[in-house]
Structure formats: structure tokens, C-alpha cells
Structure 1
Amino acid sequence: MSKQHPEEETFKEKIMNSLNNPDPRIAAEPLDNSEKENIMSKNTNQSDQTESVGSRRSSKSASSKKEPKVSKTAKKEESLNDPTDVKKRKAMKNREDRIVNKIVTVVVISLLLIGGILGFSAYRYVSSSLKPLDPDSSKQVEVEIPSGSSNKRIGEILEDNKVIKSGMVFNYFTKFNNLTGFQAGNYHFSPDMTLDEISKTLQQGGIGSAGVDAKLTIPEGFDIDQIGDAIAKSTKIKKSEFIDLMEDQSFFDELHKQYPELLDSAAKAENVRYRLEGYLFPATYDYFKGTSLKEIVTQMVDKTNSVMTPYFEEIKQKNMSVQEVLTLASLVEKEGVKEDDRKNIAQVFFNRLDAGMPLQSDISILYALGEHKEVVSIKETQVDSPYNLYTNSGYGPGPFNSPSEASIEAVMEPKSNNYYYFVADIKTGEVYFAQTYEEHMVLVEKYVNN
């Protein structure tokens, strides 16, 4: 039996003592032999595991020292510097550029082709619409044109009755050729008629309507006073009766309820001579015996409402009122004849309003004076009246006459310019525009004073 070292014996005794006398905080009873063996076995396993972990760590450490790692950045730089990779990237980029260029070229060519096809189709459509619907058909088609119908509405009626191909083209045809004065009534048209022939027939009047006793024509640019004369001439209604009705506030209130969007701004206007000035649309109306004056006037207001309705939303977007639009249109009606002139004149008025300048239209002076003449004197431009747009800025109380649809359109779609002055040649009617007062006075001396 080998001899044990004293220190080893002491160490074993300590272990046995600890097993026989456990910490009272952990267990209250001493452990039996089997439990002691389990604990000893666990201690041995933990020691072995510790050594194993330590060996793995040392092994890992050793292997990490064998070969240094190369970073991703370094590999990327090495790849970028590789001549072979650079050539590949350039080739790939060039191929992508070629593909993009081909796609752009195809798209542009496709758009040009589509645009060309649409343009050619539109040209063919308009060209064919200007020609007779059927040159080989002289079949008579009876068409009724209601009283107060606009050119646009007449075009729609003719298209619906298979007389023309396009009502829209007919409407623009009449505008471009400044064709007005179409009369209501019954007509006999045929598909082989040209737009010009149809227009002349409409101006001459139809075969008549049953029970129509007279045609009441209100020319474009007529004011309330002149409309009263026209009514008295065509009917048995006295002018004084008409003027009394124009001053009847209760009658205006009735119309206001019937046409609120049209007459709202007229109802709010101050210092007006007649609230319905500018709202009696110029057209030819059928007059029947027994028709009341109120019915005639209501028909005129209804026609104005039908013309203005498409513009109501745009008027709001422009921060204008119907009263202001019709006021400018009534000035444009008297100041210009040609469509292009009217659009330029409308823009001149807008330019002056934006600059805080008075409109200075002679039409306002003539209305304030209650006269109809061509020349206004300097003294007359000082007349004391809210309608005097020489001494008063802004739009004034309201319209000065009943403007045509062409003048209304000129105000809604003016031609952009930088002019602040214009003057018309009294003999030819040609209108000349100027940016400065000095330029304007030269034109006045040349075309008016001389």
C-alpha cells in the first residue's frame, strides 16, 4: 500500500467533510452515499467540459493565426483594377445604352406616327364635314329651328336630321365666317347642300311656322332703348310698355328665381339703369298674337342663359361675375368687328384693369349720354355718370348693350398681348393697337383727326 502525502489526505478529508456537512442554507439534511457519488460525478464531468472548451478555444485561436483574412473592400478594389473586369463593365454599359436608345427611338417614332395619324384623321374629318353630306341626294328634309336657337344648337339640329355631317364643324364654320342673323322657323334642306347654302337659307328665313304673326329681330349690340324700338316696330306692343317692364323690380325678381346663376350678379349691381341690360340676347324670335311682353322678354333671357351656361364654371375660375363678363363683351361688341380684333381688344381691357387704369371706352360715354354717334368730345368724357369709364375705374355698373356670342367668347378667350391702347379707323373699321400713350396719339392723329 502506497504511502499518501499529507496534503492529499488533508484535501480528501475536506471534501468528505463538505459532503457530510453541506451548507445549511442549501439543504437541511445530509446527503446519502448515492447522492455523494452523483455530485462527485458531475464535478468530474464539468471539469472535463471546461478542458474541452478550453481546448476548442485554443484550437480556434491557433487556426486564426494560420492565414490572415482578406476584406471585402480589398477584394472589390482588386476586382475594379482588373483590366478584364473593366472591359466587361464597359461592354455591358454600352449594350445597355444601345438598348435604351433603341427604346427611346421606337417610342418617339410611335408617338410621331400616332400624332400624324390623328392629325390626318382630324383633317379628313373636318374636310369631309365642310362638304355636302351626300352630294347625290336631293331628298328634302323638313327641319324646325326653334326661336332663339344659337348657331351651336342649329348645327346639332341639322346633324340630328341628317342634313350635315358635323354640328360642331358647322358651328365653327359660322364663327370663322362671322355668320349671324339666323332665323327660327321651318326649313326644307337636303343632304347635297353646302354649309354656305344652308347658312344663307337660315339668314333668309324658312317656310314659316304655323301661327307666326311676325319675326322679331334684335340686332347684336342693341341696348334696351333700341330693343324697345324694335319691339314696337314688329309688334303692337308699345315701347313705353317695354321700358316700364324693364324698370319693374318684381318682374326681375321672378326672372332671378328662374335663372339664379345668370342673374345673381345683376341682382347685386348698384346704380344700374336697367337690370336686364345685356341679358336680352340678340336673335330673331317668332312673335305670335296673344304672346305677352313678359313671355317675349323671358324668351330672350332664356336664350342668354343657354349661351352663358357653358361659361359659368370658367367665369368662377377667373374670379369674375356674369355681370363683368357681359359688361366687357358689350364694349367689345361696339369697339371691334373682326374676331381677331375683338380678342385683342378684350385683352387690352384686361391689361388696363390689371394696371389700375380706367377703361376709357367711348361706348361708356355714349351710354351715359343716352346718344348714338361716332365721335365723342373731350368735354363729354367728363359727364357725371357711374357709367362714365373715363372718370370711373373698374367695370362700371353693368353692360351697355346686348353682346353677341362672338364678343362673349372674345372676353372668355382673349388674345394675349401687351397693348394698353387701341383706336379704330372710322372709315375702314380697321383697329390699331399701341403699348404707350405716345404711340397711341400718333395713331389717333393719323386715323381719326385726319
Structure 2
Amino acid sequence: MSDSNEKARNSVFEERLAQAKMARKIVFFSVLGLVLILLIVIGSGYLYVKNALSPMDQENNEEIEVTIPIGSTTTQIGSILEDSGLIRNSTFFRYYVRYKNESGFQAGEYVLSPSMTMDEIIYELKDGRMLEDPALVFTIPEGLWLEQVVKLIAEHTDHEVDDIMETINDPDYLNQLIDQYTILTDDILDEEVRHPLEGYLFPARYDFIEEKPEIETIIEAMISRMENVLMKHSDMLEDSEYSVHEILTLASIIEREAQKSEDRYLISGVLYNRLEEDMMLQVDPTVAYALGEHRYMTSHADLEVDSPYNTYRYKGIPVGPIGNPGEDSIVAALDPEDTNYLFFYARYNGEVIYNETYEAHNETHQKYRHEWVEAQEEQEES
């Protein structure tokens, strides 16, 4: 081999070796750069969170009076606190409250300080005192149809049923509410939905300082309460395959079918099983809602009503809620019992019997159907 060839080979080898060293240096410094960027991001995030949770001014013990109105959402509370100079960022407050699964904030008057941490402020907000005794108090029971809720509001206020209905069905007002509340979406504007706010008026006791609150004040207090309840269970909502609208629809069915808490979760499990099996839900309360009349029992003729609410004619979850569910039914709709049951039958005495097959379910139906027939006959005679 000639000297010139040997020199050429050595030159190529040295060039490749230099290139390999350069490549390793590039990779090393690239990785080092990424690690440094990651450390900076983590450090910056840590400092941001630490700063957001810390007092606005640890040395400032100034007393600041804050008023939290009835029905305030965490978003509204955060805005009030930020505007008062007590927290740095209302959005961070909302997500921190959700992360901590905090709830139970009370309407009332508070004396807070810039020297308080966010956790200290959250603690104080759970112990509010009313500015004065409520001038108006009424309670909405669980499971009522929207028409019944409206009648109760009218009975306790000087508002007329027609005026309330006109307000809550006004397209401009509904769009305003959709912009205001995260739980409200365009689903409520579906033309087939009987009442857009059906299912969103949380059943509870309501206290109002005003003797004659506006219709909007009452309705928004009820929607705010529903949003607060749903946000308590935001983790389950995010994990659910169904939308808020669909969850409230399932919860409203569960509310109408179950009297006991344990039955709510089992019935929810049955509904999920039937949906997974592509079976019709076939629950009687949806037929009553489709007819617009409460029924002790449904007839074969009733089952034929052509309505998107009729789960004996149409598969899947109905177009909207069939009542206003309470928290237990909402949680049951989010967290169904794991079961093999595909059928359930609610007896007149409140007992619910579950079956895996149609044959067993039909036997149960034939055995206890007379209870509902007798109850209906007694009602007709009275």
C-alpha cells in the first residue's frame, strides 16, 4: 500500500472522528439545553404558584370588607377577590379551588386582609354571615318538572307564572346565560327540548335578602347552585364519556325512578349497561314527560307517543332532562354501580327489583303490576 493511500485513509478517519465528536457535542449541548429549559419552566411554574398562593402583602394587615352575593360561582368570587386586591389572579383561584375540590362557600360579608394566603381566604369564605335576615325563603324539592318549579316560585313571590316562563324562554336571555355559565351550552337551545333550563335549576332551599327579587336573580341563583354542585365533581365530569347535558338528563331519570340512595347508583348502572348494549332505555318517567302528564302507570297507548323524550321509541339518552335532579342523583349518573343488571322494576312501595334477563324482569312485572293498578284506581275514586 502506498504512503499516499495510507495518508488519505488516515485523513478520512480523522475527519469522521472529528465529525463524531462534534455530533456528540451537539447532542450533549442540545440535551443540556432542553434540561435547562425544563428546569426553568418547572422553576418558573413553582415560583408562579408559590407567588399566587402567598399573601398580596404579608406586612399589610389592612381590613378589607368583601361581600359575596347569594349564588356566586367560584369565577365570580375570584373576580371579587381580585378586584378587592386580595388575590393576584381570579382564574388561578378558580382552578385552584377546583384542584383542591373546595366547596361550601357561603354568601355573606367578610373582613379579609392582603396579608392572608389564598388557603386562609378560602377557609374564611366557608363561614360567612348573612348581611341581614332573608326576606324571602322557599325550597324546591328534588325531581320536579320545570313547570312545577315555576309554580312554586310564583307562589312565593309576586311574579306571575306566565312572566317567569316568558323570561326563561327568551332567546336573548338564554344566550346571555350560556355566556355566563360554563355548564350551559347550545344543547339547551335544541328545538326539540321542551324547556331549555329543565334540569339546570338546582333543588334546594333559597334565601333572598330582597323581599321581591327579580326573576333573573332567582333563576341565576338556582343555576349558580347547580354549577357549584357540578364543579365539586369536575374530575368525574372530565372523565365521563357524556356531556354535562347528558349527565343531567340521566340524573333526572334516576331522580324520578329511585327513592333510596343505593338504588340511584344501581339504576345508573342499569342505564349505562343498556346504553352500552345499544338497547332502548325504556323508562316510564320519560313517557310521562313526553305526554306532559304524571302517570301512576303507563299504558300501551302511552308508549306510542312520538316524542324525542320517549325512551320506548328512541334509543340513547333523551334530548334533555325530564326534571331537576339533586346532587345524589347527579353523582350516581357520574359514578354508576358496576353491575350485570339490564332491567329494574320499581314497586309501589319504593322497592326496586333488578334482573339480568327480560324473562325474569317480565315475571317481576307481572307479579307486582297490580300494586300500581290498585293505586291508580284509588286515586280515580278519591
TM-score where L is the length of structure 1:
0.53
What amino acid sits opposite 2:357 in the alignment? T
Aligned 8 A contact 1:278 1:402 in 2: yes
Of 410, 429, 442, 2:332 maps to: 410
Larger Rg: 1
Q: What are the Cα deviations for residues 278-316 of structure 1, in whole angstroms up to 9, with x where unaligned? A: 001001112322411011101100000001113344323
1:396 and 2:318 matched? yes
1:253-402 mapped onto 2 (5 Å cutoff): 253-259=175-181, 261-264=182-185, 266-267=187-188, 269-287=190-208, 288-402=210-324
Give 1:444's aligned residue.
365
Q: Offset at 1:265? A: 5.4
1:110-189 mapped onto 2 (5 Å cutoff): none
Aligned 8 A contact 1:148 1:284 in 2: no
Q: What are the Cα deviations for residues 309-332 of structure 1, in whole angstroms up to 9, with x where unaligned? A: 133443232221000100000000
Q: Which has the higher contact order (CA 8 A, sep 6+)?
A: 2
Give 2:174's aligned residue.
252
**Distance (Å, rounded) in 1 between the aligned partners of 2:352 and 2:107:** 33
1:432 and 2:327 matched? no
Gap regions ≥5 residues in structure 2? 1-67, 74-105, 110-128, 372-382
Aligned 8 A contact 1:265 1:323 in 2: no
Give 2:374's aligned residue.
none
> Residues 441, 316 of structure 1: CA spacing in aligned structure 2 closer, same or farther, 3 A cutoff?
same
**Distance (Å, rounded) in 2 between the aligned partners of 1:402 and 1:411:** 13
Q: SS where residue 423 of structure 1 aligns?
A: strand
**Distance (Å, rounded) in 2 between the aligned partners of 1:208 and 1:317:** 36
**Distance (Å, rounded) in 1 between the aligned partners of 2:343 and 2:364:** 10
> Residues 185, 342 of structure 1: CA spacing in aligned structure 2 closer, same or farther, 3 A cutoff?
farther
Q: What are the Cα deviations for residues 259-290 of structure 1, in whole angstroms up to 9, with x where unaligned? A: 1x301253464511111110010011123224
**Distance (Å, rounded) in 2 between the aligned partners of 1:445 and 1:184:** 52
**Distance (Å, rounded) in 2 between the aligned partners of 1:379 and 1:429:** 25
Aligned 8 A contact 1:424 1:447 in 2: no
What amino acid sits opposite 1:301 in the alignment? I
> Residues 208, 263 of structure 1: CA spacing in aligned structure 2 closer, same or farther, 3 A cutoff?
closer
What amino acid sits opposite 2:200 in the alignment? Y
Q: Percent identity?
A: 38
> Residues 447, 147 of structure 1: CA spacing in aligned structure 2 closer, same or farther, 3 A cutoff?
farther
Aligned 8 A contact 2:72 2:224 in 1: no
What amino acid sits opposite 2:323 in the alignment? N
Aligned 8 A contact 1:184 1:286 in 2: no
**Distance (Å, rounded) in 1 between the aligned partners of 2:346 and 2:242:** 28
**Distance (Å, rounded) in 2 between the aligned partners of 1:313 and 1:254:** 26
**Distance (Å, rounded) in 2 between the aligned partners of 1:149 and 1:364:** 32
What amino acid sits opposite 1:432 in the alignment? I
TM-score where L is the length of structure 2:
0.62
Q: CA RMSD in A?
A: 2.7
Q: SS where residue 422 of structure 1 aligns?
A: strand
> Residues 223, 209 of structure 1: CA spacing in aligned structure 2 closer, same or farther, 3 A cutoff?
farther
Aligned 8 A contact 2:270 2:341 in 1: yes
Aligned 8 A contact 1:216 1:234 in 2: yes
Q: SS where residue 263 of structure 1 aligns?
A: coil
**Distance (Å, rounded) in 2 between the aligned partners of 1:184 and 1:381:** 46
Of the structure 1 ranges 308-317 and 212-221, higher mean CA displacement relative to structure 2 is found in 308-317
